[in-house]
């Protein structure tokens, strides 16, 4: 089983500063780490490999400092790490990002299963996984809460449709995007903590770096980065809080106040 | 010439989603600036006429109905093919899809197929002074709001349910209904076979009007009874922050936040929840927020209309008692 895990190196959103003037993240304000949701994709990939054998390849499209996240993936046990980095990839929206990731997967060739997290903590779209699947013309399941069974030619998953969870059988190759918490067979998946020895080893591990030209035989360079993006961010604001006329009370008065609110809304 | 607005009317075998009507209301409003018609497209195996009629009452001028066998209705690739087909036939300027998990899985496939842009989970859509469609969405776990334009056609957006008001249906409204055909290869369309419903959702928090949410301050699973009692008295639902799901005391369906459910109730009561950005991302648009917290400086206070400083183990039982008293007097 050849598994590809798509990892987005993301900043810690609680620490990152946002340059509202320029509409971009102040990259110096936080180091890049594996997107929280992608940690589950890495873990599930490793669990599947334990059962079926094969290899796990991590692919990220990121600026050079994204390498740190890939080394973390290596420390956790992925066999190979590829960083897609090039000025031509910059400014990509979900269309261009998914096009680039799909090109890299095509370049790798011989894949059976692609795993990714449900969404990223910064972009927050949940769109990249399904778009990658469309570019590769393979089936996908999104918001997967359980990987029920996986064999050499198919995977059975439980996917959140909104009103209910549906059971889907996908022929491989296929892509699945994982929610959290996620169950693998009967076990709730908890991302492992890499061992110190593995962290140290991962520091010296090779992270392959691919640029735009390296993908020229499998993709159209015009499809990458800002040039390949169909959307533009025209303005960005910090979220201003809704004007809540916050009242602070304590003790017994609190109960009275809550009752007042409930009564004014005819709930009691 | 691309014009008009196409609303994708989500139905995978459980009836039309009510958020579809919100989209139709918005589409009717945007159409006055964008020109063209309000279209809708839906897939159905039965009650085709009923669905089409409803879509017209809520604002569609033209409805495209793709009739598919019941067992294929929950297959997303069938919906992709139908939506792509309808976009090619109608050439709408804008396509609106509800940002349900289903919509956020289907929409991007359609956008990638058409090689156009898609904006996720929009909180608003407007037409600017140049006549361009502008999409407003949160990013960075809800910490920033971005305004986005799409340079290609159609513009595709998934829209968060309950952000646009529900329009009044006009039962006298007339429109066209077109029955469409789709070439469907077989039972496992393009490698996907839907085996059935695995589990029903315990609760649809996004539709709740009153939510009592509990956080890490909870000492034992049994103590949840306290909140269930309050929820019952108010006709609401019990919800929680992530730590309670992580320890297995609550189901994911009841988690509010970035990795859980986005809610917009009339009243949100946060008990023992500190107000981490990931939690706020799921509830900050609630109509009225009450927080009960022992810590008067907890961040949730800044996002609340009423902060009660106190131990919820004291406040909530007293509240339940007072509500019971009130009810017994009636
Ligand atoms: C990628 C990612 C996604 C996440 N998604 C979510 C999400 O969807 N939803 C979510 O909720 N979190 C999410 N989190 C976790 C989030 O960061 C916080 O850790 C979490 O919300 C904290 O939950 P809490 O407020 O219940 O607990 P705490 O932060 O520990 O706060 C407990 C609060 O309870 C108060 N308290 C304690 N006892 C009492 C008492 N007896 N009476 C009154 N007050 C009391 C304390 O003063 C404190 O303010 C996510 C994190 C990450 C990294």
3-state secondary structure of A184: strand
CA angle at B305 for the pair A14 and A263, rounded to the nearest 5°: 145
How close is the Cα of A194 to the center of ligand 1, in Å?
26
Report the gap between the CA of B139 and the closest CA in chain A (Å): 6
Report the gap between the CA of A81 and the closest CA in chain B (Å): 26
Which residues 6+ apart lie within 8 Å of A51 measured at CB?
A: A150
**Least confident window among A231-240, B56-65, B288-297:** A231-240
**Least confident window among A120-134, B185-199, B273-287:** B185-199
* Closest B-chain CA to A177: B105
| CB pair distance less than 8 Å for B141 and A242 | no
Mean pLDDT computed over A13-37: 76
pLDDT of residue B140: 84
What fold, for A2-239?
Answer: Rossmann fold (3.40.50)
Which pair of tokens denotes residue A38? Answer: 């992608």
Q: Which residue has the higher pLDDT, A161 or B144?
A: A161
Task: Kindly give the residue spans of alpha helices, DSSP state H, lying in A77-210.
Answer: 94-108, 128-136, 196-204
Residue A237: is its pLDDT beyond 90? Answer: no
Residue B307: is its pLDDT beyond 80? Answer: yes
Q: Which atom of ligand 1 is nearest to the CA of A121?
A: 1
Q: How far is CA A158 from CA A32, A57, B195, B199, in A?
A: 31, 24, 10, 9
| CB pair distance less than 8 Å for B147 and A16 | no
Q: Which residues of B touch A22 (CB under 8 A)?
A: none
Interface test with B, best of A22, A103, A122, A164 (most B CBs within 10 A): A164
Pocket lining: B282 vs ligand 1, CB cutoff 6 Å: yes
pLDDT in tens, A71-88: 999 999 999 999 999 999
pLDDT in tens, B221-261: 999 999 999 999 999 999 999 999 999 999 999 999 999 99
Report the gap between the CA of B130 and the closest CA in chain A (Å): 13
Pocket lining: B213 vs ligand 1, CB cutoff 6 Å: no
pLDDT in tens, A209-223: 999 999 999 999 999
pLDDT of residue B187: 59
Q: Which residue has the higher pLDDT, A128 or A121?
A: A128
- The dihedral built from the CA positions of residue A60, A198, A207 and A115, taken in this order, carries a sign that is negative
Q: Which residues of B touch A245 (CB under 8 A)?
A: 305
pLDDT of residue A9: 96
Which residues 6+ apart lie within 8 Å of B138 measured at CB?
A: A124, A239, B121, B123, B144, B145, B146, B281
CB B263 within 8 A of CB B256: yes
pLDDT of residue A24: 64
pLDDT in tens, A147-199: 999 999 999 999 999 999 999 999 999 999 999 999 999 999 999 999 999 99
Q: Which residues of A touch B304 (CB under 8 A)?
A: 244, 246
Pocket lining: B276 vs ligand 1, CB cutoff 6 Å: yes
Task: Kindly give the residue spans of alpha helices, DSSP state H, lying in A26-176.
Answer: 36-52, 67-76, 94-108, 128-136
Nearest CA to ligand 1 atom 19: B276
In CATH, the architecture of B205-328 is 3-Layer(aba) Sandwich (3.40)
Which residues 6+ apart lie within 8 Å of B68 measured at CB?
A: B43, B44, B45, B78, B82, B182, B184
Which pair of tokens denotes residue B148? Answer: 């986005």
What number of C-beta contacts closer than 8 Å exist between A and B? Answer: 281
CB A131 within 8 A of CB B112: yes
Place of tokens 């990220």: A60
d(CA B204, CA B14): 14
Helix, strand, coil percent values for chain A (each to nearest 5): 35, 35, 35
| Average pLDDT score, chain A | 93
Q: Which residues of A touch B148 (CB under 8 A)?
A: 231-234
Q: Using N-to-C axis directions, what is the helix angle for B224-234 and B312-329, rounded to 10°?
A: 30
pLDDT of residue B182: 87
pLDDT of residue B188: 65
pLDDT of residue A242: 62
Strand partners, B62: B39, B176
What superfamily in CATH does domain B5-180 come from? HUPs (3.40.50.620)
Mean pLDDT computed over B86-107: 97
How close is the Cα of B284 to the center of ligand 1, in Å?
14
Pocket lining: B303 vs ligand 1, CB cutoff 6 Å: no
- The dihedral built from the CA positions of residue A180, A185, A187 and A191, taken in this order, carries a sign that is negative
Mean pLDDT computed over B54-61: 98
Place of tokens 């299963």: A113
d(CA B43, CA B13): 9
Residue ranges per structural domain of chain A: 2-239
Of A174, A104, A169, residue with least CA distance to A134: A174
Instruction: State the DSSP H helix or E strand holding residue A252, giving kind and residue range, or none if neither.
Output: helix A252-264
CB A134 within 8 A of CB B109: yes
| CB pair distance less than 8 Å for B201 and A265 | no
Mutate which of B241, B245, B260, B275 for ligand 1 pocket (most atoms within 8 A of beta carbon): B241
Nearest CA to ligand 1 atom 7: B257
- pTM across the whole model: 0.94
Residue ranges per structural domain of chain B: 5-180, 205-328
Residue A245: is its pLDDT beyond 90? Answer: no
Give the pLDDT band of residue A23 (cuts 50, 70, 90).
low
The full 3-state SS of A218-244, as one line of letters, equals CCCHHHCCCCCCCEEEEEEEECCCCCC
d(CA B201, CA B206): 12
Burial category of B195 from C-beta neighbours within 10 Å (exposed 0-12, middle 13-18, buried 19 and up):
middle
Give the pLDDT band of residue A20 (cuts 50, 70, 90).
low
Report the gap between the CA of A93 and the closest CA in chain B (Å): 8
pLDDT of residue B48: 84
pLDDT of residue A126: 95
Q: Which residues of A touch B302 (CB under 8 A)?
A: 241, 246
Q: Which residues of A touch B109 (CB under 8 A)?
A: 130-131, 133-134, 140
| Average pLDDT score, chain B | 94
Burial category of A10 from C-beta neighbours within 10 Å (exposed 0-12, middle 13-18, buried 19 and up):
buried
Q: Which residues of A touch B233 (CB under 8 A)?
A: 268
How close is the Cα of B254 to the center of ligand 1, in Å?
14
| CB pair distance less than 8 Å for B308 and A142 | no
Of B145, B196, B285, Cβ closest to residue A167 = B196
How close is the Cα of B219 to the center of ligand 1, in Å?
14
Percentage of chain A surpassing pLDDT 90? 83
């Amino acid at each position: 089983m050849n598994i590809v895990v798509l990892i987005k190196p993301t900043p810690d959103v609680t620490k990152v500063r946002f340059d509202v003037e320029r509409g971009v993240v102040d990259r110096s304000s936080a180091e890049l780490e594996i997107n929280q949701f992608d940690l589950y994709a890495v873990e599930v990939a490793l669990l599947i490999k334990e059962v079926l054998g094969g290899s796990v390849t991590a692919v990220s499209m990121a600026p050079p400092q994204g390498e740190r996240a890939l080394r973390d993936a290596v420390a956790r046990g992925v066999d190979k790490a590829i960083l897609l980095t090039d000025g031509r990839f910059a400014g990509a929206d979900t269309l261009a990002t998914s096009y680039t990731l799909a090109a890299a997967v095509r370049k790798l060739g011989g894949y059976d299963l692609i795993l990714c997290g449900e969404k990223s903590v910064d972009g927050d779209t949940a769109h990249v996984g399904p778009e990658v699947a469309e570019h590769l013309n393979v089936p996908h399941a999104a918001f997967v809460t359980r990987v029920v069974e996986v064999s050499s030619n198919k995977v059975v998953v439980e996917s959140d449709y909104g009103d209910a969870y549906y059971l889907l059988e996908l022929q491989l190759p296929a892509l699945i995007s994982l929610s959290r918490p996620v169950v693998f067979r009967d076990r709730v998946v908890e991302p492992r903590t890499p061992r110190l020895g593995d962290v140290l080893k991962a520091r010296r591990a090779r992270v392959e770096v691919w640029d735009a030209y390296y993908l020229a035989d499998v993709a159209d360079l015009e499809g990458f980065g800002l040039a390949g993006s169909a959307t533009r961010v025209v303005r960005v604001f910090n979220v201003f809080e809704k004007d809540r006329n916050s009242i602070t009370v304590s003790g017994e008065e609190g109960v009275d106040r809550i009752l007042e609110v409930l009564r004014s809304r005819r709930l009691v | 010439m691309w014009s008009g607005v196409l609303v994708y009317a989500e139905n995978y075998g459980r009836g039309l989603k009510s958020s579809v009507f919100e989209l139709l209301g918005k589409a009717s409003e945007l159409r006055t600036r964008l020109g063209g018609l309000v279209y809708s497209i839906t897939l159905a195996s039965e009650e085709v006429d009923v669905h089409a009629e409803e879509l017209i009452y809520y604002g569609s001028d033209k409805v495209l109905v793709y009739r598919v066998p019941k067992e294929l209705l929950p297959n997303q690739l069938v919906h992709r093919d139908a939506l792509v087909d309808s976009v090619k036939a109608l050439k709408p300027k804008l396509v609106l899809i509800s940002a349900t998990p289903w919509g956020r899985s289907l929409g991007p496939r359609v956008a990638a197929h058409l090689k156009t842009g898609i904006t996720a989970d929009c909180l608003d859509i407007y037409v600017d002074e140049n006549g361009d469609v502008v999409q407003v969405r949160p990013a960075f776990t809800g910490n920033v709001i971005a305004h986005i334009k799409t340079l290609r056609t159609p513009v595709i957006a998934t829209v968060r349910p309950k952000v646009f008001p529900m329009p009044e249906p006009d039962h006298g409204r007339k429109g066209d209904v077109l029955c469409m055909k789709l070439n469907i290869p077989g039972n496992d369309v393009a490698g996907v076979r839907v085996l059935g419903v695995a589990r029903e959702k315990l609760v649809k928090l996004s539709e709740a009007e009153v939510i009592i949410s509990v956080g890490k301050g909870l000492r034992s699973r049994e103590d949840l009874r306290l909140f269930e009692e309050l929820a019952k008295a108010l006709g609401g639902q019990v919800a929680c922050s992530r730590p309670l799901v992580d320890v297995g005391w609550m189901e994911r369906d009841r988690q509010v936040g970035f990795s859980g459910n986005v809610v917009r109730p009339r009243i949100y009561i946060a008990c023992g929840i500190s107000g981490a950005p990931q939690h706020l991302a799921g509830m900050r648009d609630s109509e009225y927020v009450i927080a009960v917290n022992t810590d008067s400086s907890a961040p949730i206070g800044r996002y609340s209309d009423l902060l009660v400083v106190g131990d919820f183990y004291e406040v909530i039982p007293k509240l339940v008692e007072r509500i019971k008293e009130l009810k017994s007097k009636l």
